[in-house]
Structure 1
């Protein structure tokens, strides 16, 4: 398989029925899962975050479950790694912001083969600091909702500047995340990560670092405010997401780092998670 496969409500399709509130208003949620030989990594974390998002947005539980979507995609997935994006929208409805009653969620899945081996240690990234600010959205904080225009603008800036990634800040100048992942700093053997109670995404790999991998290394984790100047003063920086796992940071602005032992150790635990997934 070399091209993406897409399903709409469980049926192979190359088109989206309209009207759709996800297309019209960004009224929906999405999850991006890593499949390894047809098995989803940390599927339970994705399921729990999606369930919370559905509750916050007032969606009924879709008729097509995430487990069913994963199983369908797994049957078509290539050997090795693939990305599975699952989007849940509020479905069709009349024009206007008010949600339709009743709501019939629509589930769209997209399966993409990945050329990069997820267990491969990537070259540490060179980061810039984006001029695009993450707005305060406490009602939606932590959710992986469809409103991603700030990330689109920051990614365009990243392309222009030829950075590998970019730190995104809130309106007060504190780090929130990178464009596509959660940010961590190492300070005197302890981990620090921005709080996502006001804005940002509560990533599945962020949760794995906090709940599984850091404790396995006897590392404490604190959620804290970090300015760019404070980031540049730490011992080590890395970021994480579902497809890249753990990626060390080599540079932010004029500050550079050489050895990244904590990121390397966490990467090794991430690799064990991939091995634990096992063959389909």
Structure 2
């Protein structure tokens, strides 16, 4: 790759080449026909790249997109080398995969050539420290039920955009998202966990929501290492209000405690801190 001549706070590549120009037509822009992953880089190293590519593979399969995993890995690693040369300690790297171009209309063309867009943004905050507790609000946006898309990180994020606008108007850091049944789904930018005693509970994702990489790590190894049980469950806002503790996970913050919900205030964040210690121990 050739290093782009752009300000040192951002870098962009399309199909492995530095660029600030996107070709048209593109089905990702026209229809949201594609997927994305947001990776955290520490000292030029992409964290949990395998986990991100596993989720990307599930998304490619769900959308019947051609396999581009090998190209995605190679381009992420090449971009990471350039980012390392910039001397950035922390970086957000977004990988966007679209179905590419094609004729007008919804029907995908018979011959498809996915496009891979990488966008890097330097981060100033220390992402190796547990973030301060986030304030949590309630919005009236509900996540629609669509099992065919549940779990994958597709490009259609208007529900999150509308919810984020309401959260900004409320002056809160995050907002609770419910599904069409009125049960807990997630927060805007992460997967929700609540604690009852030594058990963690997280919403099921069969109808909506994103299967986060950090969620998978909590469930796969961090909870057990911290002496906590963990399972999926159907949960209500009342369950959250009655919880001993609550937090959320995402790829940039790792884990972040929640300050409270409705009339409940959480002053102890022991489970979140214990899990974050597991996460921090895996950082380069």
User: Per the shorter chain, which TM-score range?
Assistant: over 0.9
Residue 65 of structure 2 corresponds to which residue in structure 1? 59
Does residue 1:211 correspond to 2:214, yes or no? no
* Equivalent pairs, count: 275
Contact 2:43–2:88 (CA<8 Å) still a contact in 1? yes
Q: Distance in 1 between matches of 2:280 and 2:209?
A: 26
Partner of 1:13: 19
- 8 Å Cα contact 2:190/2:249 also seen in 1: yes
Q: Given the alignment, which residue of 83, 86, 94 partners 1:85?
A: 94
Which of 89, 107, 114 pairs up with 2:116? 107
Whether contact under 8 Å (1:62, 1:104) holds in the other structure is no
Q: Is the 8 A contact 2:53 2:69 kept in 1?
A: no
Partner of 1:32: 38
Match of 2:125 among 116, 120, 123: 116
Q: Does 1:73 align with 2:95?
A: no
Aligned residue for 1:273? 282
C-alpha deviation, 1:3, in angstroms: 2.3
Q: Does 1:170 align with 2:179?
A: yes
2:3 alignment partner in structure 1: none
Q: Does the CA-based 8 Å contact 1:62-1:106 persist in structure 2?
A: no
Per the alignment, residue 200 of structure 1 pairs with 209
TM-score (norm 1): 0.96
SS of alignment partner, residue 88 of structure 1: strand
1:228 paired to 2:246 = no
Bigger relative CO (Cα 8 Å, ≥ 6 apart): 1
> 1:149: Cα distance to partner?
0.1
Do residues 247 (structure 1) and 275 (structure 2) align? no
Measured in 1, the distance between the counterparts of 2:68 and 2:201 equals 36
Residue ranges of structure 2 left out of the alignment (5+ in a row): 1-6
Pick the aligned partner of 1:47 from 32, 45, 53. 53
Asked if the contact 2:99/2:112 (under 8 Å) is kept, the reply is yes
Post-superposition, which runs of at least 4 consecutive aligned residues in structure 1 deviate over 4 A?
Answer: none
**Structure 2 residue 167 is the aligned partner of structure 1 residue 158:** yes
Once the two structures are TM-superposed, the CA of residue 245 in structure 1 deviates from its matched residue by 0.5
CA distance in 2, matches of 1:63, 1:81: 24
Aligned CA RMSD, in angstroms, stands at: 1.1
Alignment match, 2:267: 258
Normalising by structure 2, what TM-score? Answer: 0.94
**For residues 169-203 of structure 1, what are the alpha-carbon distances to aligned partners after superposition, in whole Å with 9 as ceiling and x for unaligned?**
01111110000000000012100000111100000
